[in-house]
Amino acid sequence: MVEYRVKGLSCGNCAQSLEHEIRQLEHGETATLSFNSGKLTLDERVPLDIVKAILKSDRAFIEIPNTDSSAGEHGHAHDHDDHDHAHSQGNKKMIGLLVASTVIYLGAIFMDGQSPNIVVISMYLIATALSGYVTFWKGLKNLSKLKFNIDTLMTIALIGAIAIGEWKEATLVAILFGLNELLEGLGMEKARRSMETLLQVAPKEATKIDNGKESIVPIASLQVGDTVVVKPGEKIPSDGSVLSGRSSVNEAAITGESLPVEKAEGEPVFGGSINNEGVLQIRIEKAYEDSSLAKILHLVQEAQETKTPTELFINKFAKYYTPLIMIVALLVIVIPPLFLGGDWTEWLYQGLAVLIVGCPCALILSSPIAIVSGITRNARNGILVKGGVFLEQLGKLDTIAFDKTGTLTKGEPFVEKTVVYDEANFLTIAGAIEKSSSHPLAKAIMKEVSKTGLPIQDAEDIQAVSGQGITASYEGARYWLGNEKSMAHLSIPTDIQNTIENLKEIGLTLVLVADKKKILGMFGISDEIREESRSVIAALHRSGIHRTVMLTGDHQKTAEKVAKAVGVTEYYGNLLPEDKVAKVKYLADHGTVGMIGDGINDAPALASAQIGIAMGKGTDSAIETADVVLMQDHLGKLPSAIKIGKRVNRIIRFNIAISMGLKLLALLLTIPEWLTLWVAILSDMGATIFVTLVSLTILIERKTIS
């Protein structure tokens, strides 16, 4: 399959018609043409010249992309410029024709009654031809094939209006329909351009260092292990780590976070990030096509292709709706004159107006512009929604299940409480024993010990006891560090035992330190709760999420402690991975559930929810497993993602109501014979322009005061 970018698609219905025509070609049955993204996917055996001719019939064309090769770059770049030029020229030509038609039309109205009829009629016909000839020819072709779409409806209406001598209104219909098509195409182009601007964050070149020499190379040529230098203001070409230098880096392209992040030697960096001030030497750890940015951009582009259930329904409905409107129009023309003594000319006029009202333009546009705008807006914020269907689901959520560790908490143990019985030795001994350990609890203890500034010596003869703790020698004496089981050599006094029970009761993990005779002290360790967790949960409740549920493998007391601190409505502890899946399935039976985890160990639970949401600052597994990815390493942007989803759904429902409501209102005007051709076209055009503008408001960032 080969993929092409198509420019100049005027409407969703037209894109469907073009796709249908291409599919009739030999080997063309698998072809897809997306109005949302302007992408055409073809079997390479399909004759491209015939495809181009089919596209040209609707003023669309295949854009020739730039190539990386220097030889081809000039020729292709020129073709690309020509096509962009042709597209803008096409719009200018259309605007010019519409302006000329309007001037001639106004001139004909002014001369009506003052000049011979033949002159005025000729002016109306010229104005009609200038603005409506493309629609007219397409409509005639469709009629010959008995294919009924918007162009067919408009052609029948134009022929009928001219046949009954309604020159003035026929011309107005042609001009307004031409304007409608132009504005409709420009509206979708605006949404696509917004998406393309987002996709332009990818750097094009890199400064590679090879044997001490710098050279400019295309990023596609970078290999794992290459060294690049990134100067202030330049983009980091691909994922890697800092070899030397120090600088702040803007990672907004990946995470949506506007605040710069300090980077020093050994720290990871993302491709597409902007280096702010210092010079960085970076070791490339992923070829560009495997980088976080490349995956994000690819998935965002793919997201435009997916059709939501609403869109699929609208498209299917429109397929039957157009012939239905033609039948209704025929009944309006025939029944009153045949059975109610009506005038044929008057009811033919009413029937033609019904045809124009029946154009499904606004209905078909109700969804795609809103969906593309919503996906783009979320991507700007570092929230990757993998398709319109998931954006729609995001807006329907009423229940969110959270994994605890690394989601509501930092996933890093820290010492919350210290109980000291031997001031002189407790911290010194603990530091000496844990100094060389890489265990997460040891790191938390060393962080606490380092705050005191005490000089820490090395312990000797360190022995780990599985599941209990450590024994070691320090300055000739033996010491024990670990949980209660590791203190079996001691008889723990009642008051210390009570303290142990109290600390366990509030959900702390205990590490005790003792010598041969007594306990020197203990550390109460917990998983640090993220600063934003409570405010995020509160914001979710305000945005219409009724149930927030925390799922964890930790014991119930720890679960209770974290749940109370962050404000979730329910919590469940002591869960195995399969228990989490069962809980998510249970919740899914009682609402629309989103599950949030880190995209690795929570994959089964993520898959069980209606929508899986992963967080993890661009980790490969997070990007690949979930339906929605929060590219930041926190939940801060989740409420806004859900709000955008809900807003998109509201706008789509509103657009459908407006487009159908205006049509129904216009159709009711046929009863008192008040429906005119210009009222019909204005109601159709008004609805189309209105739903386009309303959909584009999703792209507007509102400044919120918190």
The residues annotated with a catalytic role in the active site are: 403
Between CA 474 and CA 520 the distance in angstroms is: 14
DSSP letter at 44?
T
Site of tokens 């055009």 = 685
Distances from the Cα of 30 to the Cα of 1, 27, 298, 346, 459, angstroms: 9, 7, 21, 47, 70
Q: How far is Cα 261 from Cα 248, in angstroms, rounded to an integer?
A: 5
Give SS3 for 4: strand
Cα 695 to Cα 367: distance, rounded to the nearest angstrom: 8
Question: What is d(CA 566, CA 409) in angstroms, rounded to the nearest whole number?
Answer: 10
Q: What angle do CA 432, 436, 439 make, to 5 degrees?
A: 110
Please tell me whether residue 3 adopts helix, strand or coil conformation. Answer: strand
Cα gap 208→16, rounded to integer Å: 46
Interstrand relation of 399-403 and 547-551 (parallel, antiparallel or unpaired): parallel
Q: Where does 371-436 show beta strands of DSSP type E? A: 383-385, 399-403, 409-420
Beta strands at 32-34 and 2-7: parallel, antiparallel or unpaired? unpaired
Give Cα 232 to chain centroid, integer Å. 30
Q: How far apart are CA 583 and CA 585, in angstroms?
A: 5
Q: Return the DSSP state at 705.
A: P
Q: Give 58-111 as a 3 state SS string.
A: CCCEEECCCCCCHHHHHHHHHHHHHHHHHHHHHHHHHHHHHHHHHHHHHHHHHH
Q: How does DSSP assign 599-661, residue by residue?
A: SSTTHHHHHHSSEEEEESTT-HHHHHH-SEEE-SSSSTTHHHHHHHHHHHHHHHHHHHHHHHH
CB-based contacts of 619, cutoff 8 Å, min separation 6: 598, 599, 600
Q: In this structure, what token pair is assigned to residue 359?
A: 């154009």
Return the closest-CA partner of residue 63 out of 74, 55, 73, 71: 55
Q: Among 222, 202, 382, which residue's Cα sits nearest to residue 286?
A: 222
Phi-psi region at 595: left, alpha or beta (left = phi > 0; alpha = psi -120 to 50): beta
Residues in the chain: 706
Max Cα distance, the chain (Å): 122
Containing 449, the helix (H) or strand (E) segment is helix 440-450
**Of 156, 143, 146, 101, residue with least CA distance to 124:** 101
Gyration radius from the chain CA atoms: 34
How far is CA 216 from its chain centroid?
Answer: 33
Question: Looking at this protein, which amino acid is placed at residue 592?
Answer: T
